Amino acid sequence: MHMVRITWVIGGPQGTGVDTAANLFGDAIAKAGYYIYGNREYYSNIKGKHSYFTITISDAPTSSISDDIDVLATFEPETVFQHFRQVKGTLLYDKNMEGAKLENALLMENEIKHDVAQVLSSHGLDETVGGALNYLKNNGITVIPIDFDSTLTMIMNEVNQSSTVVGRAKNVIAVAASYGMLGLDKKFLLAAVSSVFKKEEYRKINSLAVEYGIIQVQPKYSLEALPTNGSRLRVDGNYMSAMGKIFGGLRLQTYYPITPASDESDFIEANQLLDVESEKQELRKAGAVVLQMEDEIAAVNTAIAACLTGVRASTATSGPGFSLMPEGIGWAGMNEVPLVVTYYMRGGPSTGLPTRSGQTDLKFALNVGHGEFPRIVLASGDHMEVFRDAFWALNLAEKYQTPVIHLIEKTLANSYSIIDEGPFNYNALRISRGKMVKASESYRRFEFSDDGISPRAALGSGPGRIIHEGDEHNEYGHITEEVNMRFKMYEKRMKKLETADREIPERDRLNVYGDMDSDTIVVTWGSSKLPIIDALDMLKTDGISIGVIQIKMFSPFPKNMVRKLLENKQTIITVESSYTAQAAQVMTENTGIAPTHYILKWNGRMITREEIYKSVRRIKSGATKRIALNGGV
């Protein structure tokens, strides 16, 4: 049960250290023994447009955000205009910008400007930061001025640096002031500054920003450091996917730059020199190659080809890139190649919302490519799952010798959570490479077998000839169009999915939460499960108890278990970030069971726990069958 749940937001123009500020704040909170979940929102822009970071602070593991802000830390006008209506607690602002006009927020989108202008004028308020502050004061919300200019001058007096360099510490002053509201010892924030800023001069400037920022506010929350048990990590989705792959033995990754997938490949490349334990426990070095290709067509086909040499290889992309890959993935299906594609979903169609999230590509992943071939489709719901599934995907691909598509949403890729290292326990994971052989003289790459899986030999592994062929082929790989061979070879390929369906326990293909005895079950997938889990106790307070099924594997689908879990349930609510509820469609196709209610969101922003709480209450009151959410900024 969560006793503490505080929502903190910092915002600012892209390129002014909003991410650094959020990292510092989050690390300090974590060092004090609290958990956080932090969600990053930003535009497809390099510098200047509004970005912001929402952090939930909790005394228990947490996985969601709220649009109701307890503490809003700002250091320039646009963040005030963008978020003031969400503030339910306190707003911190630069006291010298009260006169800043809405019309001068040049990079702010016109739709938002008009909306804000209308709200302010309808309340008879100026279209300025001052007007927004008065709006809040009239609603009983606290606003606290921070004197950024004199704080910067005080820092300048102590360090021998230009005003430009010191001026960059504005974000940290905002962090410090808002941190001061929590009542936590400043030592945690100073420790975070020391670990984030490596250069002595920056460490000095930002430590002073903490000292002078923190004293400008009075504590409101009187939080105390919590006793902890074991180490904790601050992780994001890109990192967890990269780590799962590296630990899983990935040694070749291809990519073409694309948001929000490239960070994964960048991380692998930056850390490509790996320590491995070899025979006799001696340490040796290994190298993971990362290839930036000319397009996603090259990226997928290069990764596929690398797999033919026996290496574990993959590519990472998002929607527009995946749209260029189907032909290659079909070749991998035809040639029984253990390709892993990590698919970061963002808002589509077309370029869509390049930096926002969505769950609109499930059916595309399930149906990618012309013709029929088996593919395994996995979707992770939290950061721990991202790591384990990235690792698992490499095993599944080699075991069933067919493409595996691992779905992760932008919101998981870019958000942070604090996880306990104990349950992370990655050393318990095992690699399984499936049927691997050396090519003997009589080798047949597509040899028939009962389970449909043929012994796989790497190119160059022996004297036998290895033939890979995108045309229909016989056991050797030679082209054939003969009816009986076509009949049998087709069936052999397809049989692998049946084998996978038989061998992979259905229990591993889904998660359940909450009260599964309830007659109300929420069916969801991916990161949409996160706000649901955090809404469970909120609903319970109101006497509503629900069960949750998170589907993790969509192909092969855990149909028996889902059918059983949903047997005789009165209310089945699907929660998804799409318009058409794709996971529910796939569920119905596999189980014959359709949802009775829908909670859907397609505006690119993460679903919040309040949205779930309110929507489930509305559904339980019989008000509606379908709720379309539109929260967020």
Partner 1 sequence: MAGSELIISDWCPGCGDFGILRAEESVLKELGVPLQNVVVVTGIGCSGKTGQFMNSSISTVHTLHGRALPYATGIKVANPKLEVIVNVGDGDGLGIGAGHFVNAGRRNLDMAIMLHDNGVYGLTKGQAAPTLKLGEKVKSMPRSNINGEVNPIMLALASGYTFVARAYSYDVNGTKELIKAAIQHKGTALIDILQPCPTYNDINTKEWYEKRIYKMTDIDPIVNDQAETHQKIANAIVKAGEWDDKIPLGVFYRNETVSTYGDRLAANIPNYLSYPPAEQEIERDGIPSTLIEKLVSTRRVLIE
Judged by CB under 8 A, the chain residues 553 through 572 that form the site for partner 1 are none
C-beta of 193 vs 586, nearer to partner 1: 193
- Span 311-330, contacts to partner 1 by CB under 8 A: 311-313, 327-328
Least distance between partner 1 and beta carbon 307 (Å):
8
Do the Cβ atoms of 497 and 555 come closer than 8 Å? yes
- Binding residue (CB under 8 A) for partner 1 from 272, 518, 580, 596: 272
Q: Quick one: DSSP state of residue 84? A: G
- Binding residue (CB under 8 A) for partner 1 from 72, 308, 397, 606: 308
Q: What is the dihedral of CA 381, 382, 383, 388, to 10 degrees?
A: -50
- Binding residue (CB under 8 A) for partner 1 from 135, 344, 443, 598: 443
At 205, the amino acid letter reads I
Count of residues interacting with partner 1 (CB under 8 A): 92
Does residue 350 bind partner 1 (CB under 8 A)? no
Does residue 252 bind partner 1 (CB under 8 A)? yes
- Span 103-162, contacts to partner 1 by CB under 8 A: none
Three-state SS letters, 309-361: CCCEEEEEEEHHHHCCCHHHHHHHHHCCCCCEEEEEEEECCCCCEEEEECCCC
3-state secondary structure of 440: coil
At 234, the amino acid letter reads R
- Helical H runs in 10-94? 18-31, 77-83
Does residue 479 bind partner 1 (CB under 8 A)? yes
Long-range contacts made by residues 159-167, C-beta under 8 angstroms, separation at least 24? 159/201, 159/204, 159/205, 159/208, 161/201, 161/205, 165/201, 165/205, 166/205
Q: How far is CA 23 from CA 39, 185, 226, 236, in A?
A: 11, 18, 20, 11
- Span 183-202, contacts to partner 1 by CB under 8 A: 192
At 340, the amino acid letter reads V
- Binding residue (CB under 8 A) for partner 1 from 186, 203, 363, 433: 433
The structure tokens 């278990």 sit at 561
Least distance between partner 1 and beta carbon 390 (Å):
12
Rg (the chain; Cα; Å) = 26
For residue 24, what are its two tokens? 């510092």
Least distance between partner 1 and beta carbon 466 (Å):
4
C-beta of 308 vs 510, nearer to partner 1: 308
- Binding residue (CB under 8 A) for partner 1 from 157, 164, 229, 630: 229
C-beta of 59 vs 515, nearer to partner 1: 59
Nearest Cα neighbor of 191 from 26, 388, 433 is: 26
Binding region for partner 1 (CB under 8 A) out of 83-91, 170-178, 277-285, 519-527: 277-285
- Binding residue (CB under 8 A) for partner 1 from 60, 276, 623, 628: 276
- Binding residue (CB under 8 A) for partner 1 from 111, 441, 450, 481: 441
Does residue 341 bind partner 1 (CB under 8 A)? no
Least distance between partner 1 and beta carbon 2 (Å):
19
- Span 278-297, contacts to partner 1 by CB under 8 A: 278-279, 283, 285-289, 291, 293-295, 297
- Span 369-428, contacts to partner 1 by CB under 8 A: 418, 421, 426
Beta-carbon contacts of residue 35 (< 8 Å; ≥ 6 apart): 57, 58, 59, 60, 61, 62, 417, 418
For residue 404, what are its two tokens? 């595996």
For residue 470, what are its two tokens? 């995108």
C-beta of 429 vs 633, nearer to partner 1: 429
Does residue 469 bind partner 1 (CB under 8 A)? yes
Does residue 302 bind partner 1 (CB under 8 A)? yes
Does residue 62 bind partner 1 (CB under 8 A)? no
The helix or strand, by DSSP H or E, that contains position 255, with its residue range, turns out to be: strand 250-255
